[in-house]
Amino acid sequence: MYGRYTQDLGTFAKDEAARLRLQEGDTPRPHRPSELLEYTQGRCGPCRVCALQCQRFLISKVGEDWVFLILLGLVMALVSWAMDFAIATCLQAQKWMYGGLDTNVLLQYMAWVTYPTVLITFSAGFTQILAPQAVGSGIPEMKTILRGVVLKEYLTFKTFVAKVIGLTCALGSGMPLGKEGPFVHIASMCAALLSRFLSLFGGFYENEARNIEMLAAACAVGVGCCFAAPIGGVLFSIEVTSTFFAVRNYWRGFFAATFSAFIFRVLAVWNKDEETITALFKTRFRLDFPFDLQELPAFAVIGIASGFGGALFVYLNRKIVQFMRRQKTINRFLMKKRLLFPALVTLIISTLTFPPGFGQFMAGQLTQKDTLVTLFDNQTWAKQGVSDEFEYLGILEAWHHPRANVFVTLVVFILMKFWMSALATTIPVPCGAFMPVFVIGAAFGRLVGESMAAWFPDGIHTDSNIYRIVPGGYAVVGAAALSGAVTHTVSTAVIVFELTGQISHILPVMIAVILANAVAQSLQPSLYDSIIRIKKLPYLPELGWGHHEKYNVRVEDIMVRDIRYVTLNCKYRDLQQVLHGTKMKNLPLVESAESMILLGSIERSQVGALLSSQLSPQRRLLTLRQKVLSEDGHRLSDSSIRFQISTETSSGTPARPALRKPLKPALKRRVPSSPPDSPPAGSTDHTGIALKSLFCANATTDPTEAHGTPYHKAKRVRISIVEEMILGDKMTPAEILEWEEQQLDQLVDFSSAKIDPAPFQLVEHTSLHKTHTIFSLLGLDHAFVTSIGRLVGMVSLKELRKAIEGSLTGKGVKVRPPLASFRDSTASTTEADTTALQQLWDRHQHHHMPREAGPGGDDDDNTPK
Amino acid sequence: MYGRYTQDLGTFAKDEAARLRLQEGDTPRPHRPSELLEYTQGRCGPCRVCALQCQRFLISKVGEDWVFLILLGLVMALVSWAMDFAIATCLQAQKWMYGGLDTNVLLQYMAWVTYPTVLITFSAGFTQILAPQAVGSGIPEMKTILRGVVLKEYLTFKTFVAKVIGLTCALGSGMPLGKEGPFVHIASMCAALLSRFLSLFGGFYENEARNIEMLAAACAVGVGCCFAAPIGGVLFSIEVTSTFFAVRNYWRGFFAATFSAFIFRVLAVWNKDEETITALFKTRFRLDFPFDLQELPAFAVIGIASGFGGALFVYLNRKIVQFMRRQKTINRFLMKKRLLFPALVTLIISTLTFPPGFGQFMAGQLTQKDTLVTLFDNQTWAKQGVSDEFEYLGILEAWHHPRANVFVTLVVFILMKFWMSALATTIPVPCGAFMPVFVIGAAFGRLVGESMAAWFPDGIHTDSNIYRIVPGGYAVVGAAALSGAVTHTVSTAVIVFELTGQISHILPVMIAVILANAVAQSLQPSLYDSIIRIKKLPYLPELGWGHHEKYNVRVEDIMVRDIRYVTLNCKYRDLQQVLHGTKMKNLPLVESAESMILLGSIERSQVGALLSSQLSPQRRLLTLRQKVLSEDGHRLSDSSIRFQISTETSSGTPARPALRKPLKPALKRRVPSSPPDSPPAGSTDHTGIALKSLFCANATTDPTEAHGTPYHKAKRVRISIVEEMILGDKMTPAEILEWEEQQLDQLVDFSSAKIDPAPFQLVEHTSLHKTHTIFSLLGLDHAFVTSIGRLVGMVSLKELRKAIEGSLTGKGVKVRPPLASFRDSTASTTEADTTALQQLWDRHQHHHMPREAGPGGDDDDNTPK
């Protein structure tokens, strides 16, 4: 198993190791001793020796993980702090402009609206020009990358710059956007760049497996230094990006995230912003009696409502994106003027939040940070009886409207911010949705808390002591619940504790978060999974929680039985037929059609290469030359040498740049590291008639092929020029066709092809559950099903996805999303009956044939409520 | 892959499902309709129908995961609370006795010493008699079980009872023992029993994979309800028991642990112990300025010192165990009187803590809980200047000695408790080491804190406000650091926050815990891993942190090349030779010795069964009978029928009890579920001469064989009796031998043997890193190495362990434990050189032969300091 990757990697690593050893053994060593000799003669010889040893020692240390993690933490803390500073300055500038123009409302409005529009437009334009990959959250992409898929250009320096600057501008505009998701992406890019930089000191960072581990740690650092929440950061990044998690990565994450959070907060202290290291949004709730047991139902209500709200948010966000895509006319117009959509959205949102206008009903003048600080406030805003009217001081004043209740302000705030956030996160700038959702959740919690406080002015507790209700605590619970519902995580609870610096509300928070998750997971995918589906990134859905049916579906029920294969003793014509007949990227290689013993798998591109080599003009040339040679001696020998050289260089050059890109995994390296004797995959146009039809048919379907194209094209052109010089048109098309037909009837020589000697195998009886586990653990995208060495079928990601997502599996059972069981606990009596019936019916049928299609079975994309 | 388990499980599940369906379809269904018919006639017909539907609905719900998790949480909360109550009562009784006898010191001493001795002795005896598996922590065993290994009798009701009662008595004695580890075990047993109970309502709980997932959740519940720390519980259980963690289990853990912690704390409120739900050891530290930035070095010192302390604790604990085992004379004496050792240890410890005696210098009268409460106290104990002498009130008084400083008391406490705890945890009673270590850590932190407070009476901060140092905060940090160092976890930080209800010291705690881990991991394995090694449980060591060499070791360097195999066309004689020649539990089945194409793997016991079936007396009997039949008609027919029946019953009975044990995985089920036509593995004594030598050679080496023995023995005896009656001694030994020789030359018929059709395969180039990942992910214990279908070698857990633990791998590289790089950052310059040399040397040698032994290379069992 893993043969394909490992063999390549193996070869590569060996070459690389040999190269490094040679370099180390030959190039610097003779250099250094000579240097040493030179100086040992002089006075400061020992000094030099010592310095050199130190240098060597330091370089050897650079390879250590902890050095890398500390550097990563340090860099990210600095980036985070600098960005926070820049964002704060931007927001201050807007406030200052707005405040300075208080003589004229129109001017004020102009300033209030223009400033964010310009910033967002700049951000969108800048990102679009420099690196369109920087748009959006980045968590979906990181999840895909950590699954082992290569996304081009997602971890480059250009994207890093675009993301940092774009994000700073976007957040500086005061729009309801977050920085958490982008920070995960920024930290990952930082890790990738850092490992590339450190690999200048040695080859330690060349390894793919290690780089993936470092990326996982980097995700934790991203969240950790964004919120100064190391524990929550690690957990959140695990939940959001992984299906299976190696506990050893957990260490790395903790180490780096703690260091990063520490530096991030120390910078604030050094900058005199804070007196000492404390939480970002520190709360001061009562410690001795944080909440009453009888308040728990209210917290549960917050949780359930947040679950529905979270699902609605995801749904709304997706619908907006889909609407924008579907409306061709709008779309075409907006596409032409790419910056119009961001500008328009910003205009609408900032107009509505204009403080002297509608903004007065929704605390429009507060920044996101101020909003959170006020919502987590320790006091009760609602009227407590008649006598004590609450004094709104400082920034709290924003929530106070002379003619409206605080409840009205809160409700308006929640409703407006809800759609604004869902809309704003679709703008093509680097932005996340966590923070806006967090704020909305806090406001909702506050609303419930204030209502409770108004309902029970003296608290619920009937004993001697009066413990008033703390609405701030409700706000904390609401924030955790809603953000948990949108992202489908429970670690938002931990983030909330770390953000507020208080853990006294642990049980209400946990209860609300779990309930919110239960509801949201049964209605919608998480925001990140939703984006993954919208962007059509490869993914494997999660297995459901709680349904035992999934344990009864087996591989034999979902596998594809009718697969094309290559036999060891086949002819080139068979290869051609197989390539014509299937679109599979990997073809099984069996001993013979009778025994069907699986020997390995061979890539489609390799089969293509075998074919093209067989039908290649070079071979034809060779045949021709031999014929000619036998006719008239050594006439062509010098040109054949020329040809030889030209292929050598063309296949030799691309090997160099690959060394400078340690993060590109095996898939990308394969092209340069292929042995130089293997012929090019594509061949000249005027030859290979049989082949031409083949490649025309496949050009659009096979990404690996398309991938290698620029290199192949260059080679192809060069070869054809050389060849043209030599041959001209010595053979007529009819002759060529005849020659090719003749060639196709030869037996295939597999010696030059790269064969994966141990493709992943499953047995017919492997359960869907186990198959899913193995696929997600090992990041497979296909596996062959064998029975005592005999190939009987194949399962790919597609079949698995179909089986899991409920489009009816072989046994008529649908498997549902996590926690789905919570949803239909009221209406599933009939379902149980039909399942039993179907099972009875299936008893007579199964074991023999897989059934692909069947009566509907909803997928989990259904609408909420 | 996974073929062995899945096929068995598959077959079993199908049979089982069929059985259940039949049962459901035939037995109760005809019953119910008749019942229905009877009542539909009557008045309350609709009621009955409704009730039946409700019943069926409820039963269908029982299969849901969340029902299971809620039940588990509820049960564990009740168990935890009841045990806490019982323990508190026990401790109260001791205090009451001690207090009541204050007229006579001798009587007081007698009471103080006798009470715990009796309790511990009872606990040890009770556990020993009922279930010796209940002894100790249980976390090491759970780690092994979650890895997929079957430990007999570890999850039974008997063990549950023994553990609960034994633990209550042990903790009630007031010895320095903990309840965390045992609680993990108790929760797991609870889950196992619960799933067995719930399987009475349906077959949902029969699945092994699901049960393993539930066990993982149960571990979290165990920690969660022990400390009322759901988040910390989940994380701790992950760190302690897993190498790879499925994020979907994380959900289950959170859900169940939160529910459990909630109920556990609600019970306390209902019992009027608490006013509302709060933390177990609530602290009231200052929120606005929890600590100064300049105090961080002191926290770091606590972390580093705790790291050394933790390693020393593990070392001491192991040495005590090893000493007790090695001293043959002491050991024999103690073994004879099994209860003497516990009694002796208890006597010593309780004598030393006797409050009027030496105990006055170490707060001996405080229980573990009181000690923690006092250590986390908010006040400063040391003298603050001259004027304000601190008043020791309430239980704090225990720390005050009229003639000794508080520093002296603390130092004595730490030193004494350290060895006492290390000693006490070796007593053969159910007990954990977490809590004692936690207390010692808290005391150490307090010591540092008090020192700091004495050094800086007005705090370090030089600004306007005076912020005094809070020694309680240091105690919290120390507790987290030491317990983290002993268990090699960072989640003790989270546990500490949840236990104290304050998160204000998050950064100091995180820094100290990480430093402590860094130091401890480089010196010693974790306490649990240490116990795993002492108990010789199967394990796979962790891969190191930070060493890139491990990426360069490949499977071909460590695999065993010279393996025995079974060919498809072999003779029985070959099977016999293979069994003689190897001790492997699984033999590869290849097509032929020339092609070496791997077809599958066959278990050793199956090969044995094939052989014994070929040489079995039944077959001989059959041959004989046929001969006899042709001679003199039907003389033996009735006795042959009798024989038939007797084998039927003997192989039929064991199938029944297996159904009642859903948690026993496939390995154990295999014996009863083997088809009744396959003959018994062992055969009669006076026959099977060739076989006898075989089984004599293997009896001691093969546990699977030994496992099946009682059943086989019973069968064997019965058969031999029957046979004796029929045949007497119709064949002479010489005849038998001749017949057997003849049989051995026949070709093997594999049709009756169970073959794993897709054993796990690796390629030669797979890296050690990836191999380790795959082994630990999938819980493998061996894998075959193939190259294009050809078998070239095998890797088992043993080779892998050897390679990882540094006993020199193929490339002369040792891979070290996590964080080991911290240790030798001072002394590894020379090592780098030698490694480079060795690599150079190895270049000429590797690729050709695996080298098993090599020059030393320490394993990580080395002594601290």
Residue of A651, A521, A100, A614 whose CA lies nearest to B247: A521
Rounded Cα–Cα distance for residues B192 and B211 (Å): 8
Q: Does B823 touch chain A (CB under 8 A)?
A: no
Rounded Cα–Cα distance for residues B291 and B378 (Å): 13
CB B601 within 8 A of CB B586: yes
CB B287 within 8 A of CB B504: yes
Contact B789 A599 (CB under 8 A): yes
Provide the H-helix boundaries in B327-433. 328-336, 340-353, 368-375, 406-424
Q: Judged by CB atoms within 8 Å, which residues 17-46 of A form the interface with B?
A: 17, 21, 24-25
3-state secondary structure A180-217: HHHHHHHHHHHHHHHHHHHHHHCHHHHCHHHHHHHHHH
Contact A503 B507 (CB under 8 A): no
Q: Does A148 touch chain B (CB under 8 A)?
A: no
Three-state DSSP class for residue B20: helix
Q: A826: pLDDT confidence band, cut at 50, 70 and 90?
A: very low
Under-50 pLDDT residues of chain B: 1-14, 16-17, 20, 22-40, 385-387, 545-548, 635-722, 724-725, 728, 807-865
In this structure, the dihedral spanned by the alpha carbons of residues A487, B234, B236 and A442, taken in order and rounded to 10 degrees, is 50
Segment (H or E) for B324: helix B296-326
Report the residue from A497, A514, A767 with minimal CB separation from B255: A514
Contacts of A769 in chain B (CB under 8 A): 209-210
pLDDT computed for residue B269 by the predictor: 85
Rounded Cα–Cα distance for residues B216 and B236 (Å): 11
Q: Judged by CB atoms within 8 Å, which residues 77-116 of B form the interface with A?
A: none
Tally A–B CB contacts below 8 A: 343
CA quadruple B156, B160, B163, B169: dihedral positive or negative?
negative
pTM over 0.90: no
Contacts of B545 in chain A (CB under 8 A): 65-66, 248, 251-252
Rounded Cα–Cα distance for residues A470 and A586 (Å): 62
Residues with Cβ within 8 Å of A236's Cβ and at least 6 positions away in sequence, in order, are A223, A487, A489, A491, A492, A494, A495
Contacts of B554 in chain A (CB under 8 A): 10
CB A672 within 8 A of CB A654: yes
pLDDT computed for residue A704 by the predictor: 37
pLDDT exceeds 70 at position A459: yes
Contacts of A770 in chain B (CB under 8 A): 2, 6, 209
Contact A763 B2 (CB under 8 A): yes
What CATH number matches the domain at B57-271, 1.10.287.540, 1.10.3080.10, 3.10.50.40, 3.30.1330.10?
1.10.3080.10
Contact B261 A507 (CB under 8 A): yes
- Rounded mean pLDDT of A89-116? 88
Residue of B708, B712, B709 whose CA lies nearest to B669: B708
CB A762 within 8 A of CB A555: yes
CB B529 within 8 A of CB B135: no
Average pLDDT, chain A: 73
Q: Judged by CB atoms within 8 Å, which residues 553-572 of A form the interface with B?
A: 554
Three-state DSSP class for residue A134: helix
CB B304 within 8 A of CB B515: yes
pLDDT computed for residue B136 by the predictor: 86
Q: How far is CA A199 from CA A60, A73, A203, A757, B215, in A?
A: 11, 18, 5, 31, 43
Q: Does B838 touch chain A (CB under 8 A)?
A: no
Helix axis angle, B65-100 relative to B180-198, nearest 10°? 140
CB A676 within 8 A of CB A652: yes
Contacts of A250 in chain B (CB under 8 A): 238-239, 490
Contact B755 A247 (CB under 8 A): no
Report the residue from A276, A788, A819 with minimal CB separation from B599: A788
With tokens 């929640």, the residue in question is: A414
Radius of gyration for chain A, computed over Cα atoms and rounded to the nearest angstrom: 32
CB B3 within 8 A of CB B758: yes
Q: What chain A residue is nearest to B3 in terms of C-alpha separation?
A: A763
Contact B266 A293 (CB under 8 A): yes
Name which of A267-281, A471-485, A689-703 the model is least confident about.
A689-703
pLDDT computed for residue B549 by the predictor: 54
Q: Which two tokens stand for residue B744?
A: 């051995």
Q: Does B507 touch chain A (CB under 8 A)?
A: yes
Contact B254 A490 (CB under 8 A): yes
Contacts of B11 in chain A (CB under 8 A): 765
Contacts of A591 in chain B (CB under 8 A): 597, 789
Q: Which two tokens stand for residue B806?
A: 């540094």
- Minimal Cα–Cα distance from A7 to chain B, Å? 6
Segment (H or E) for A587: strand A586-590
What CATH number matches the domain at B293-341+351-382+395-535, 3.90.1150.10, 1.10.3080.10, 1.10.10.10, 3.40.50.12780?
1.10.3080.10
Which range, A294-298, A534-538, A855-859, B708-712, is most confident?
A294-298
Q: Does B231 touch chain A (CB under 8 A)?
A: yes
Give the other-Cβ count within 10 Å of B577's Cβ.
14
Q: What chain A residue is nearest to B204 in terms of C-alpha separation?
A: A548
Q: Does B214 touch chain A (CB under 8 A)?
A: no
Report the residue from A243, A758, A787 with minimal CB separation from B757: A787
Domains A57-271 and A548-617+735-809 share a fold: no
Q: What chain B residue is nearest to A251 in terms of C-alpha separation?
A: B490
- Minimal Cα–Cα distance from B786 to chain A, Å? 7
Q: A200: pLDDT confidence band, cut at 50, 70 and 90?
A: confident
Three-state DSSP class for residue A576: helix
Ramachandran bin of A307, using left for φ above 0, alpha for ψ from -120 to 50, beta for the remaining angles: alpha
Whether CATH 3.10.580.10 fits B548-617+735-809: yes
CB B517 within 8 A of CB B776: no
CB A583 within 8 A of CB A739: no
CA angle centred on B302, ends B297 and B303, rounded to 5°:
95
Q: Judged by CB atoms within 8 Å, which residues 262-281 of B form the interface with A?
A: 262, 265-266, 269, 275-279
Q: Judged by CB atoms within 8 Å, which residues 729-768 of B form the interface with A?
A: 755, 757-758, 760-763, 765-767
Per residue in A36-47, pLDDT (tens digit) is 444 445 566 677
What share of chain A has pLDDT > 90, as a percent?
21
Which range, A782-796, A812-826, B229-243, B706-720, is most confident?
B229-243
CB A134 within 8 A of CB A430: yes
Where are the domains positioned within chain B? 57-271, 293-341+351-382+395-535, 548-617+735-809
CA quadruple B263, B267, B270, B274: dihedral positive or negative?
negative
Q: How far is CA B560 from CA B581, B763, B850, B852, B862, in A?
A: 15, 13, 8, 9, 28
Name which of A194-208, A385-399, B122-136 the model is least confident about.
A385-399
Q: Which two tokens stand for residue B608?
A: 């044995």
B309: number of CA atoms within 13 Å, CB side?
A: 31
With tokens 């039908």, the residue in question is: A615
Query: CA A500 from chain center: how many Å?
Result: 29
pLDDT computed for residue B827 by the predictor: 33
Name which of A394-408, A557-571, B810-824 the model is least confident about.
B810-824
Amino acid at A375: L
Identify the residue among B490, B528, B776, B839 best suited for mutation to test binding to A, counting A beta carbons within 10 A and taking the highest. Answer: B490
Per DSSP, which regions of A151-307 are E strands? 244-246
Rounded Cα–Cα distance for residues B702 and B604 (Å): 9
Q: A782: pLDDT confidence band, cut at 50, 70 and 90?
A: confident
pLDDT computed for residue B544 by the predictor: 56
ipTM over 0.85: no
- Rounded mean pLDDT of A485-513? 91
In eight-state DSSP terms, residue A694 is H
Contacts of A279 in chain B (CB under 8 A): 503-504, 506
pLDDT computed for residue A719 by the predictor: 47
With tokens 């296949």, the residue in question is: A651
Q: Does B245 touch chain A (CB under 8 A)?
A: yes
SS3 content of chain B, % helix, strand, coil (to 5): 65, 5, 30
CB A486 within 8 A of CB A437: yes
Residues written for chain A: 865
Contact B1 A761 (CB under 8 A): yes
Q: Does A830 touch chain B (CB under 8 A)?
A: no
Q: Judged by CB atoms within 8 Å, which residues 352-381 of B form the interface with A?
A: none
Residues with Cβ within 8 Å of A232's Cβ and at least 6 positions away in sequence, in order, are A223, A224, A491, A492, A494, A495, A496, A497, A498, A499
In eight-state DSSP terms, residue A177 is -
Q: A745: pLDDT confidence band, cut at 50, 70 and 90?
A: confident
CB B597 within 8 A of CB A597: yes
pLDDT exceeds 90 at position A759: no
- Minimal Cα–Cα distance from A513 to chain B, Å? 10
Contact A840 B21 (CB under 8 A): yes
Give the other-Cβ count within 10 Å of B724's Cβ.
12
A649: number of CA atoms within 13 Å, CB side?
A: 8
Report the residue from B10, B66, B760 with minimal CB separation from A546: B66
- Minimal Cα–Cα distance from B431 to chain A, Å? 26
